[in-house]
Amino acid sequence: MTLAEQLRAEGREEGRKEGRVEGRKEGRVEALVETAIKLLTKKFGSLPEEFKIKLSKLDAATLEVVIDNIFEYESLEDVKKYIG
**Per-residue model confidence as pLDDT tens for the chain (84 residues):** 787 677 677 777 776 766 665 656 666 899 999 999 999 999 999 999 999 999 999 999 999 999 999 999 999 999 998 887
pLDDT value of residue 2:
83
pLDDT value of residue 82:
83
* Residue 62 and residue 80 in contact, taking contact as beta carbons nearer than 8 Å: no
CA atoms within 13 A on the CB side of 7: 3
Q: How many domains does the chain have?
A: 1
Structural domain including 25 reads 3-83
Burial class (CB in 10 A: 0-12, 13-18, 19+), 63: buried
Rounded to 10°, the helix 3-44/60-68 angle is 30
pLDDT value of residue 36:
97
pLDDT value of residue 63:
95
How far apart are alpha carbons 61 and 82 in whole angstroms?
A: 11
C-alpha torsion angle, residues 9, 14, 20, 21 (rounded to 10): 180
pLDDT value of residue 15:
67
Which pTM value belongs to this model? Answer: 0.70
